[in-house]
């Protein structure tokens, strides 16, 4: 750990610190409204989002695997955290967050970071777009200032709730929300260096305070005043039953946190040319999510937009992330009483814009337009995320992706009977050389292309057995294009070999790749076949088979499947010449 930390600060200078100070200040200012907004959307008090931004932000920067990562609460967690709060309560959310931290830490410790990269893109795009829809629609009530709204876990009930209370639109809330929304959109165009969400939040809050006092709901009127201090360390009481109950949501939080943080780290790598350490990043995320709940914070992960902003403003090291956390802490200490006056209508547009930006609409539409199996995975994951819950969506998406992958792979495997092409100077084997009048009765050669695994193992075995109408003396399996074989594939290969041996035949394999060879050695099949029957090249395998021919069966054969068949046929020619001589002598006598 010490060696890794020291390597991150090699050649660190005062000039680099100044850059980190500036970028940390900018990101810290941006993170304040986002932290509160994500906390409110997750069903908890806004200050919990501030606590998360401070503690998790500093810890992720110090212990994570990316030099530029900015950690904190993000939109990806919103539907999951809201579901946990509504079902189990805030205290249990803290326990779930801690358990997720333990899982993330162990994932990093056991070097599982690379596995996260194998989650199919249509799954992540589908649930990200679904989360964006949930966040966006979840802010409609605050945007319009609707009264009497009750939050539900499911999307349809929440939409019904809005429909039932649409008559209670608060015109003042709508004006405040539109003011904030317009400023968020215009600020980057007029002042590119100034954070739009912050300007929108401040000005719209001033508009509400000056022109519409006590006409719109605020953070203070809804959640109470925000204290100008960090909470003290609190260890929640935990029972074994609670742990069992919260393992599933904790696992979803951990997986989401891992995906989001590593995606953010990859984005940072692309922007800077650096290389993050995925396992170290998961360890850092784990540490942050184990400690943050002890101070009342909600789960955190790497934030792509804030990380990109950090880089764009000149960050050079993790110090910028630490400074970002300190800036938020200082603002909390000094300005917390004023934050209580922020209207909820000012927070809604911030989350709506975040939802729009995170929706990956271009990628979503691109995958849909392909009209492939990926389109199906994307659509189902998206629909389940919106209309059921994220846990089910991810589970079904992954299972569906795996099933469709197996189906695609099963179609790739080909098994073809082949013979040498006499017109090719290298005598390459080709499937089109095999026909009824040109097929050696004693030697059968098959080319296998593709992985032999559980999804195709039965097809592999039956496709060979069904095309052997006779009982050849030697069966040659060309496996140079078989990159992978699992134990199910090995089992079917074993069954084929043993069946063939019972018929008195000999098995020969050529071009065996390393992975299938390792599997066969571990199961004992390699030894059963015999090293003397395994060759690197097909030509050597054919020569071996030709030496073991029953030459008597070659007499009268007109197939001429191999070039050697012509020389073997001379046996018959010589015998005819000898018989002709005998008949001539008898005639003369």
3-state secondary structure of 193: coil
Question: What are the tokens at 536?
Answer: 């690197």
In a domain, 294, yes or no: yes
Task: Give the domain CATH number at 566.
Answer: 3.30.750.24
Query: DSSP letters of 233-277?
Result: P------HHHHHHHHHHHHHHHHHHHHHHHHHHHHHHHHHS----
Do both 397 and 430 map to the same domain? no
Domain boundary among 401, 436, 467: 401
Parallel, antiparallel or unpaired: strands 474-481 and 506-510? parallel
The pLDDT, as a whole number, for residue 574 is: 47
C-alpha closest to that of 386 among 44, 128, 150: 128
Do both 495 and 349 map to the same domain? no
Our CA dihedral for 548, 549, 551, 553, rounded to 10 degrees, sits at: 150
CA-to-CA distance for 394 and 381, rounded, in angstroms?
7
Range of the domain at 551: 413-574
- Digit-by-digit pLDDT tens for the chain (589 residues) are 555 555 666 778 889 999 999 999 999 999 999 999 999 999 999 999 999 999 999 999 999 999 999 999 999 999 999 999 999 999 999 999 999 999 999 999 999 888 777 889 999 999 999 999 999 999 999 999 999 999 888 899 999 999 999 999 999 999 999 999 999 999 999 998 888 999 999 999 999 999 999 899 999 999 988 888 888 888 888 899 999 999 999 999 999 999 999 989 988 999 998 899 999 999 999 999 999 999 999 999 999 999 999 999 999 999 999 999 999 999 999 988 888 899 999 999 999 999 999 998 999 999 999 999 999 999 999 999 999 988 889 889 999 998 998 888 888 899 999 999 888 877 888 988 888 778 888 999 999 999 999 988 888 888 888 777 667 889 999 999 999 999 999 999 999 999 988 888 999 999 999 999 999 999 999 999 999 999 999 999 999 999 888 888 887 787 888 887 877 766 544 444 443 443 344 345 4
Do both 113 and 260 map to the same domain? yes
CA-to-CA distance for 516 and 487, rounded, in angstroms?
10
Do both 71 and 117 map to the same domain? yes
Contact predicate 220/340, CB 8 Å: yes
The pLDDT, as a whole number, for residue 573 is: 45
Domain boundary among 379, 401, 423: 401
Do both 448 and 377 map to the same domain? no
Domain boundary among 370, 401, 432: 401
| pTM (2 d.p.) | 0.80
Backbone angles phi, psi at 480, to 5 degrees: -70, -20
In a domain, 582, yes or no: no
Contact predicate 403/521, CB 8 Å: no
Do both 380 and 458 map to the same domain? no
In a domain, 374, yes or no: yes
Contact predicate 58/321, CB 8 Å: yes
Residues in the chain: 589
Do both 294 and 389 map to the same domain? yes
Contact predicate 433/419, CB 8 Å: yes
Do both 490 and 519 map to the same domain? yes
Contacts (Cβ under 8 Å, ≥6 apart) of 532: none
In a domain, 583, yes or no: no
In a domain, 36, yes or no: yes
Do both 267 and 300 map to the same domain? yes
The pLDDT, as a whole number, for residue 495 is: 93
DSSP bridge pairs for 444: 475
Q: How far apart are the first and last CA of the chain?
A: 105
Specify whether the backbone of 273 is left (phi greater than 0), alpha (psi in -120 to 50) or beta.
Answer: left
Do both 49 and 193 map to the same domain? yes
Number of domains composing the chain: 2
Contact predicate 131/285, CB 8 Å: no
CA-to-CA distance for 586 and 579, rounded, in angstroms?
11
In a domain, 408, yes or no: no
Kindly give the interhelix angle for 240-272 and 278-291, rounded to the nearest 10 degrees: 140
CA-to-CA distance for 192 and 214, rounded, in angstroms?
33
3-state secondary structure of 476: strand
Do both 394 and 426 map to the same domain? no
**How distant, in Å, are the alpha carbons of 494, 532, 544, 569 from that of 523?**
10, 18, 25, 42
Contacts (Cβ under 8 Å, ≥6 apart) of 534: 508, 509, 510, 512, 526
Contact predicate 509/494, CB 8 Å: no
In a domain, 9, yes or no: yes
Query: Alpha helix (H) ranges present in 359-471?
Result: 361-370, 373-387, 390-412, 457-465
Backbone angles phi, psi at 427, to 5 degrees: 55, 45
Contact predicate 309/30, CB 8 Å: yes
Do both 122 and 163 map to the same domain? yes
The pLDDT, as a whole number, for residue 434 is: 87
In a domain, 270, yes or no: yes
Q: How many CB atoms lie within 10 A of CB 115?
A: 12
The CA-based angle 99-100-102, given to 5 degrees, is: 65
């Amino acid at each position: 750990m010490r060696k890794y930390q020291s390597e991150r600060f090699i050649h660190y200078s005062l000039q680099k610190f100044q850059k980190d100070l500036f970028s940390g200040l900018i990101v810290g200012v941006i993170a304040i409204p986002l932290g509160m907004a994500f906390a409110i959307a997750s069903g908890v008090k806004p200050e919990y989002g501030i606590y998360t931004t401070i503690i998790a932000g500093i810890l992720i920067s110090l212990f994570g695997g990316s030099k530029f990562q900015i950690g904190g609460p993000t939109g990806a967690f919103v539907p999951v955290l809201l579901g946990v709060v509504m079902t189990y309560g805030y205290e249990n959310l803290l326990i779930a967050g801690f358990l997720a931290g333990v899982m993330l830490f162990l994932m990093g410790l056991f070097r599982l970071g690379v596995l996260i990269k194998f989650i199919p893109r249509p799954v992540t795009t589908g649930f990200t777009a679904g989360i964006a829809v949930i966040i966006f629609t979840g802010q409609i009530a605050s945007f319009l200032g609707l009264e009497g709204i009750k939050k539900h876990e499911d999307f349809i009930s929440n939409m019904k709730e809005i429909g039932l209370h649409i008559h209670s639109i608060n015109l003042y809330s709508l004006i405040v929300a539109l003011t904030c929304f317009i400023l968020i959109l215009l600020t980057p165009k007029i002042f590119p260096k100034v954070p739009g969400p912050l300007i929108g939040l401040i000005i719209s809050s001033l508009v509400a305070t000056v022109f519409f006092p006590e006409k719109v709901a605020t953070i203070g009127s809804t959640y109470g005043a925000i204290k100008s201090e960090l909470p003290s360390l609190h260890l929640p009481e935990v029972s074994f039953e609670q742990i069992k109950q919260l393992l599933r949501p904790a696992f979803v939080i951990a997986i989401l946190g891992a995906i989001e943080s590593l995606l953010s780290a990859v984005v940072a790598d692309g922007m800077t040319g650096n290389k993050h350490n995925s396992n170290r990043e998961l360890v850092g995320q784990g540490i942050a999510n184990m400690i943050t709940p002890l101070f009342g914070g909600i789960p955190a992960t790497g934030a792509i937009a804030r990380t990109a902003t950090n880089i764009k403003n000149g960050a050079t090291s993790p110090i910028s992330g630490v400074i970002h956390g300190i800036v938020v802490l200082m603002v909390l200490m000094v300005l917390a009483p004023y934050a209580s006056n922020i209207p909820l209508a000012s927070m809604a547009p911030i989350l709506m814009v975040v939802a729009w930006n995170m929706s990956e609409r271009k990628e979503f539409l691109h995958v849909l337009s392909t009209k492939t199996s990926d389109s199906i995975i994307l659509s189902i994951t998206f629909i389940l995320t919106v209309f059921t819950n994220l846990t089910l969506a991810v589970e079904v998406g992954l299972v569906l992706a795996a099933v469709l992958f197996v189906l695609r792979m099963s179609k790739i495997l080909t098994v073809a009977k082949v013979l040498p092409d006499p017109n090719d100077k290298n005598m390459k084997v080709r499937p089109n050389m095999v026909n009824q009048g040109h097929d050696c009765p004693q030697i059968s050669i098959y080319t296998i292309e593709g992985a032999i695994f559980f999804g195709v193992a039965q097809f592999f075995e039956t496709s060979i057995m069904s095309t052997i109408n006779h009982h050849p003396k030697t069966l040659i399996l060309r496996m140079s294009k078989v990159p992978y074989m699992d134990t199910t594939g090995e089992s079917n290969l074993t069954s084929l070999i043993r069946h063939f041996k019972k018929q008195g035949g000999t098995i020969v394999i050529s071009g065996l790749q390393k992975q299938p060879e390792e599997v066969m050695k571990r199961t004992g099949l390699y030894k059963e076949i015999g090293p003397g029957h395994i060759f690197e090249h097909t030509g050597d395998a054919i020569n071996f088979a030709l030496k073991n021919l029953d030459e008597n069966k070659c007499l009268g054969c007109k197939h001429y499947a191999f070039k050697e068949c012509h020389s073997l046929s001379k046996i018959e020619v010589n015998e005819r010449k000898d018989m002709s001589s005998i008949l001539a002598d008898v005639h003369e006598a």
